[in-house]
Amino acid sequence: MAADRRPSARKRNAGERAWAVAFASPYLLHLVALAAWPLLASLYFSMTDYDLVSSPKFVGFDNFARMFSDGLFWRTLGNTAYFAVLFVPTQTALALGLAIALNQRLRGMALFRAAYFVPVVSSWVVVAYVADAVFNPQTGLANQVLDFFGLPAANWLQDPALVIPTLAGVAVWKGVGYMMVLFLAGLQAIPEERYEAAKIDGASAWNRFRYITMPGISGTTFLVLVLTSIETLQSFEQVFVMTDGGPHGASELTVLHLYRQGFQFFQMGYASAIAWVLFVLVLALTMVQFRLQRRWVHYA
């Protein structure tokens, strides 16, 4: 009897495995076509000269050497870093502040949350026109407000010194609702009893924030910081749509530079080299953040 049952059990297991592989097959294909291929191919193309017409010509590290002497590339890295330094902390702090303000039973809470989410679901093309209504130097709201307070008008996106701060401001406006919802989830995961116990012990509001809320949401804060910095290093659509890198390259970000090299000048090899450098930067930044988290993130 036992000898009879075993082969059929084995057959059934093999059948189950076949089903499982069939179910997982879309992702197996994904791993090959959309993960392994791009990683290896871009590494290969980064060491070639490839204009899409003639076949790729191997040039070793020429593209990387060129990048190091490409002043524009360094400038775009500087612009990207400047944008990130303004954008990431501002958005994180504002999102946290809003989440704390919203983390209570307020009437019309869903409505407020919806208002903060409208920019999140808008494409950058829509946001470009919305931002124009605000930052157009002649007809925009922002200069009207400045004028009302007797302050001089600014040129916002058309001023090389102001363009990155203005872009960062618009990016915060667009993204803060999303990060706020992440923080809300983090805040709601902190057990209510901790606050009650602290109140009984007579802890001040500041101390409750400092010693309960802050450690409680440090995990979320970490996630938000990692996500936004990865995203910011790769920022493309906003500048592509709003400034096209101008004025005079003041908002030319690295991925926009990559896009031009690849899809306007058809230098796929050079574009791939830029992509790999950015990839390594993103990885390094993520690893540094993961390393630093041990110092300040508390998982309760």
Partner 1 sequence: MRKTVSYVLVTAGALVMLVPFVAALSNSLKSFAQYIQVPPTWIPDPIQWDNYVEVWRRTPFGLYLVNSLVIAILAVIGNVLTSAMVGHALARMRLPGRQALLTMALGTMMLPTVITIVPNFLLFRSLGWLDTLLPLIAPYWLATPIGIFLMRQTFLGIPKDFEEAAGLDGANPWQVFWRIHLPLAKPALATLAVFTFTTSWKAVLEPTIYLTSPENYTLPVGVLSLKGQFVGNDQLVTAAAMMSLLPMLVVFILAQRYFVRGTMSAGIKG
Residues 181 to 200: which contact partner 1 by CB under 8 A? 181-182, 184-185
Please select the residue that binds partner 1; options are 141, 161, 284, 292, rule is CB under 8 A: 141
Residue 3 or 14: which CB sits closer to partner 1?
A: 14
Count, residues in the chain: 300
Instruction: State how far the Cα of 134 lies from the Cα of 113, in Å rounded to an integer.
Output: 22
Of 70-78, 158-166, 272-280, 291-299, the window that binds partner 1 (rule: CB under 8 A) is 272-280
Give the helix ranges, DSSP H, for the chain. Answer: 2-30, 37-45, 62-69, 71-102, 109-121, 124-135, 141-148, 163-188, 192-200, 205-208, 214-216, 218-233, 237-242, 254-259, 268-296
Give the residue with the Cβ less far from partner 1, 163 or 275: 275
| Strand, coil or helix: 93 | helix
Q: Is 204 in the site for partner 1 (CB under 8 A)?
A: no
Please, are residues 184 and 103 in contact by the beta-carbon 8 Å criterion?
yes
Q: Quick one: DSSP state of residue 247?
A: S
Quick one: which of 153, 162, 130 has its CA closest to 251?
A: 162
Q: Which is nearer to partner 1, 114 or 197 (CB)?
A: 114
Backbone angles phi, psi at 71, to 5 degrees: -55, -35
Q: Looking at this protein, which amino acid is placed at residue 239?
A: V
Interaction pattern, residues 45-84, with partner 1; x per rule: CB under 8 A: x------x--------------------------------
CB of 187 to partner 1, least distance (A): 11
Nearest to 114 by CA among 43, 177, 51: 177
Q: Does 275 bind partner 1 (CB under 8 A)?
A: yes
Instruction: Compare residues 3 and 107 and give the one whose CB is closer to partner 1.
Output: 107
Closest distance to partner 1 from the beta carbon of 57 (Å): 15
Residue from 11, 30, 210, 298 binding partner 1 (CB under 8 A)? 30
Residues of span 210-239 touching partner 1 by CB under 8 A: 223, 227, 230-231, 233-234, 236-237
Task: By CB under 8 A, name the one of 16, 61, 68, 204 that touches partner 1.
Answer: 16
DSSP state of 249: T
Closer CB to partner 1, 42 or 213, in the complex: 42
| Angle, helices 141-148/124-135, rounded to nearest 10 degrees | 30
Question: Closest distance between partner 1 and the C-beta of residue 93, in Å?
Answer: 13
Which range of residues in 28-36, 65-73, 196-204, 206-214 is near partner 1 by CB under 8 A?
A: 28-36
Stretch in the footprint of partner 1 (CB under 8 A) among 34-42, 75-83, 84-92, 208-216:
34-42
Q: How far is the CB of 223 from partner 1 (least distance, A)?
A: 6
Looking up tokens 């297991």, which residue turns up?
13
Count of residues of this chain found to bind partner 1 when the rule CB under 8 A is applied: 88
Nearer to partner 1, 164 or 268 (CB): 268
Distance of CA 221 to the CA centre of its chain: 14
Phi/psi at 187 (5° precision): -65, -40
Q: Residues 98-137: x/- map of binding to partner 1 (CB under 8 A)?
A: x--xx-x-x---xxxxxxxxxx-xxxxxx-xxxxxxx---
CA 295 → CA 213, 215, 269, distances in Å? Answer: 17, 11, 40
